[in-house]
Amino acid sequence: MYEALCLSALKEGESAYVTQVNAGPAMDRRLMDLGLVRGTRVTCVLRSPAGDPCAYLIRGALIALRRTDADGVALERQAQAVPAGAVAT
Amino acid sequence: MIRVALAGNPNVGKSTLFNALTKLRQHTGNWAGKTVETARGEYDFKGERYQLIDLPGTYSLAVHSQEEAVARDYIQSGQADGVVVVCDATCLERNLILVLQVMELTGKVLVCVNLMDEAKRLGIDVDLSALEKRLGVPVVGTAGGRQEGLENLKSAIARLVGVDAPASPRREVQERVTLAERYAAQVVRNQEEGQLRRQQRLDRLLTSKSTGIPLMLLLLGLVVWLTVAGANGPSALLTALFARVGVVLEGWFSETPAWLSGILLDGVYRVTAWVVAVMLPPMAIFFPLFTLLEDLGYLPRVAFVMDHAFQRCRTCGKQCLTMCMSMGCNACGVTGCRIIDSPRERLIAILTSSFVPCNGKFPTLIALITIFFVGGRAGLLASLEGAALLLGTLVLGVAGTLACSRLLSATVLRGMPSSFALELPPFRRPRVGEVIVRSVLDRTLFVLGRAVAVAAPAGAVIWLMANVMVGNSSLLAHCTGFLDPFAKLFGLDGVILMAFILGWPANEIVLPVMLMSYLATGSLVEFDDLAALGQLLTQQGWTWVTAVCTMLFSLFHWPCSTTCLTIYKETGSVKWTALAVVLPTVLGLGLCFAVSATAKVLGLG
């Protein structure tokens, strides 16, 4: 049982795990560089006065993203649903 | 000579380390993307000479941007005898992704975990020897801002040179990220949550709906007020000092021919002295205050708060950062536009860079505000009023930038906003002493030096124009007379317009040129007393409408010569440079026309 949502729907203080990144080729690459890949835990930390952009905690760094870009990142609440960290030593 | 490259994510303190090692002064500040060019510097260690190459900060080496291409090409070219990957100890996990990527290109890697002091303050503990074991390359901890760990770093670099380790095998992105995550989990301990929570509380205060924008205006207002209120005394002091020196110089020049002493003393000396006296105090106050905010990490928060407005103008929120730089100096703002990835959005930021008034325009704006709108009064209330009006002028400049950006986005630079990811670094405690020294030495004296270099020859030219007679009147009078009918259409007069034209090399000399023309004495006259200046302007037919129009035109007219040259260098195009000149000029003339026409129709002024 898990709930699917997108990054832009994440409320301040909420965390979830990335299932899919589909924000256009350029943004996908940039998000990947920032370490936002499948299985990454993200937390919505700040909301700007207009409500857009929001700042997310991604791998220890605070990154501001616009809603149009955050729309393309799919999340789910439970970490277990994504097979993450499955890399051999 | 041994060549060592410094690589790393943006804003990990690479430039601070570079400066500390090479004793050079590359500009630093707490936001991503300051290093826009590859800087080189040298240092000696144990009888060997090392050349350090400060590569632009990048998140990856996957060549999506110019900076990444520069960094990757350099590392791959094998020109470097070693690569130092600088990491931010407060955000090690993300930084390790780049470390792993560099290790796939070369085996001669040294990892320098910087900002150890910041991490300690935030309760983050990094086990360096454990990290060294995991990565299989040497790891050194430093606190570049406090000069800690530099000797260790130097000897580690020296040991790196002989190493001939192979590069690690290529990995998939997902694999690299997961590996970084695992290493970070093994070596980083987060002891204290309290500090992080305090950071987030400050962040919320500075960016939330109810407090973000008021606090931003308040802070900017405070900086402007301190500049306005603090600059008066020192300016008057300098003016008096230069007047005394002038008297002494006059004594020395009493034997020389009148034309020579005229050019040198009334031309070069007086104009230069004016520029120094009116420019130095506001700059010496403004730059350190601004650098403090920059060091704290506040500027990216401003960009975050303002981004929505830029998004609606279909441009990049990082333009806000380049606008902040433009307040110091438009040319710096233009160069700073390299932090914007999308060429379309970068061009828009460059074309509108002169809409934000630079330091050189402040003295003219402050003088006009004080004379015509604060009634020449002194004191706390008057300085607050003056600061509020100057703040209003700045806000108008920002509004002009946004409007023109929107216009460009809809016309010649049509397009939708590109993707946007802006890092908000942790707040750092500003290093007050160092900030003051650095900003005064590097920025203030640099900008002042450039202004003086321009003011001195301009002084000679202005004196000649005011003293070479053609027929009954001077060359300058002919020019102003010619411009007068045209200028009158826009609420200005020939003298004002001519002053802006002669002020092309530097905005600082606009007001002195105006005075020289009005007085027709052929030389610059000292005005330590603003009331006297006000009287003179009123005698010449100035009303508050003239003052408003002059301020508007000062805000929106062609960029200064240095900025024009920088725009040409950055765009490589005469066409775009011309547009950067035409755009603010048309806007300025349009606003002046609207104001003066409205005033005429309503019978005001």
B371-376: average pLDDT: 82
- Would an 8 Å CB–CB cutoff place B8 in contact with chain A? no
Residue B422 near residue B356 (C-beta atoms within 8 A): no
Cβ within 8 Å of A, B 277-306: 300, 303-305
Does the distance separating the beta carbons of A66 and B420 come in below 8 Å?
yes
The tens digit of pLDDT for each residue in A56-79 reads 999 989 999 999 999 999 999 877
Which tokens hold the place of B449? 């030096």
- Comparing B198 with B404, the larger pLDDT belongs to B404
Chain segment B245-258, per-residue pLDDT in tens: 988 998 998 888 98
pLDDT of residue A2: 53
More confident residue, B164 or A19: A19
Name the residue of chain A whose CA is nearest to B178's CA.
A85
Q: Is the pLDDT of residue B415 over 90?
A: no
Residues B328-372: pLDDT tens digits? Answer: 889 889 988 988 888 999 999 999 999 999 888 988 898 899 889
Q: What is the pLDDT of residues B548-592, one digit of tens each?
A: 999 999 999 999 988 999 999 999 999 999 999 999 999 999 999
Q: Enumerate the β-bridge partners of residue B84.
A: B6, B110
Q: Tell if the CB–CB gap between B184 and A60 is shorter than 8 Å.
A: yes
For the cut 90, the answer to whether the pLDDT of residue B32 exceeds it is no
The residue ranges of every structural domain in chain A are 4-76
Give chain B positions within 8 Å (CB) of A66.
307, 311, 417, 419-420
Which pLDDT score is estimated for B28? Answer: 61
Give me the sheet containing B2-8, strands edge to edge. Answer: B39-45, B48-54, B2-8, B82-88, B109-114, B139-141
DSSP string, B65-125: SHHHHHHHHHHHHT--SEEEEEEEGGGHHHHHHHHHHHHTT-S-EEEEEE-HHHHHHTTEE
B99-113, B433-447, B452-466: range with lowest mean pLDDT: B433-447
Q: Quote the pLDDT of residue B532.
A: 78
The region of weakest confidence among B5-14, B193-202, B405-414, B594-603 is B193-202
Residue B21, CA distances (Å) to A29, B99, B282, B433 in order? 34, 21, 32, 19
Contacts of B573 (CB under 8 A, 6+ apart): none
- B232 to chain A, any CB pair closer than 8 A? The answer is no
- Between B164 and B143, whose confidence is greater? B143
The CATH code of domain A4-76 reads: 2.30.30.90
Reply yes or no on whether the pLDDT at B34 is more than 80. Answer: no
Q: What CATH fold (topology level) applies to the domain B2-191?
A: Rossmann fold (3.40.50)
**DSSP 3-state helix, strand, coil percentages of chain A (rounded to 5)?**
20, 35, 45
A51/B209 touch (CB, cutoff 8 Å), yes or no: yes
Q: Which of A21, A30, A47, A73 should one mutate to test binding to chain B, selecting the residue with the greatest count of B CBs within 10 A?
A: A30
Q: Is pLDDT above 50 for A1?
A: no
Q: Is B97 on the interface with A (CB under 8 A)?
A: yes
8 Å CB contact of A49 and B213? yes
| CB contacts < 8 A (A, B) | 135
Are the Cβ atoms of B419 and A47 closer than 8 angstroms?
Answer: no
Closest alpha carbon to B10 in B27, B30, B25, B37: B30
Candidate ranges A56-65, B37-46, B443-452; pick with highest mean pLDDT: A56-65
A86: contact with B, CB 8 A cutoff = yes
CB < 8 Å to B424, chain A: 46, 55, 62-64
Confidence band, pLDDT 50/70/90 cuts, at residue A45: very high
CA distance B227 to B216: 17
Predicted confidence at residue A86, as pLDDT, reads 45
Q: Which of B233-247, B275-289, B383-397, B442-456 has the highest mean pLDDT?
A: B383-397
Q: Where are the alpha helices (DSSP H) in B188-313?
A: 193-207, 212-252, 258-261, 270-296, 298-312
**For the ranges B68-82, B101-115, B516-530, which has the lowest average pLDDT?**
B516-530
With a cut of 80, say whether residue B24 has pLDDT above it: no
A3 to chain B nearest CA, in Å? 24
* Contact between B60 and A86 using a beta-carbon 8 Å cutoff: no
pLDDT of residue B205: 93
Q: What distance in Å separates the CA atoms of residue B132 and residue B113, rounded to the nearest whole number?
A: 11
Q: Is the ipTM of this complex over 0.90?
A: no
Q: H or E element: which one contains A75? A: strand A73-76
Query: In this complex, is the C-beta atom of A30 within 8 Å of any C-beta atom belonging to chain B?
Result: yes
A33:B178 CB<8 A: no
Please state, for a pLDDT cut of 90, what percent of chain A lies above it. Answer: 57
Report pLDDT for A84.
47
Asked if the C-beta of A22 comes within 8 angstroms of chain B's C-beta atoms, the answer is no
pLDDT at B549: 96
B544 near B373, Cβ under 8 Å? yes
Question: Which residue, A64, A52, A37, A60, is CA-closest to B32?
Answer: A64
Q: Are B504 and B212 within 8 A, CB to CB?
A: no
A57 part of contact set with chain B, CB < 8 Å? no
Is B174–A38 a contact, with Cβ atoms under 8 angstroms apart?
yes
Contact A64 B419 (CB under 8 A): no
pLDDT (tens digit per residue) in B279-327: 888 888 988 898 899 889 999 999 999 999 999 999 999 999 999 989 8
| A39–chain B Cβ distance below 8 A for any pair | yes
Closest by Cβ to A26, choosing from B59, B307, B418:
B418
Closest partner residue to A85 (CB to CB) among B178, B307, B420 is B178
pLDDT number for residue B243: 87
Could you tell me the residue ranges of all domains in chain B? 2-191, 212-601
State how far residue A53 is from chain B, nearest Cα, in angstroms: 7
* Cβ contacts of B173 on chain A, cutoff 8 Å: 32, 37
Task: Quote the pLDDT of residue B233.
Answer: 85
Choosing among A46, A71, A73, which should be mutated to test the B contact, i.e. which has the most B CBs within 10 A? A46
Distance of alpha carbon B88 from alpha carbon B141, whole angstroms: 10
Residue A41, min C-alpha distance to chain B (Å): 11
- Kindly report the backbone phi and psi dihedral angles of residue B302, in degrees, each rounded to the nearest multiple of 5, phi listed first: -60, -45
Q: What percent of chain B has pLDDT over 90?
A: 47
Q: Is A61 on the interface with B (CB under 8 A)?
A: yes
- Looking at residue B338, its pLDDT comes to 84
Q: Say what the pLDDT of residue A89 is.
A: 36
Of the given ranges (B32-36, B169-173, B601-605), which has the lowest mean pLDDT?
A: B32-36
Residues from chain A contacting residue B422 (CB–CB below 8 Å): 53, 63-64
The pLDDT confidence band at residue A82, using thresholds 50, 70 and 90, is: very low
More confident residue, B133 or B513: B133
Cβ contacts of A64 on chain B, cutoff 8 Å: 300, 303-304, 307, 317, 420-424
Strands A61-65 and B2-8: unpaired
CB contact under 8 A, B94 and A35: yes
Rounded distance between C-alpha atoms, residue B580 and residue B594, angstroms: 22
pLDDT digits (tens, 9 = 90+) for B5-18: 999 998 898 888 99
Give this prediction's pTM. 0.88
Chain B residues within 8 A of A43 when measuring between CB atoms: none
Which residue does chain B place closest to A54, by CA atoms?
B304
Identify the band that residue B528 occupies on the pLDDT scale cut at 50, 70 and 90: low
Phi, psi dihedral angles at B470 (to 5 degrees): -120, 110
pLDDT of residue B301: 95
Mean pLDDT for chain B overall: 88
Instruction: Identify all chain A residues contacting B62, using CB atoms and an 8 Å cutoff.
Output: 29, 33
Select from B424, B427, B428 the residue whose CB has the most chain A CBs within 10 Å, as the one to mutate to test that interface: B424
Helix B510-519 to helix B494-502 angle (10° resolution) is 140
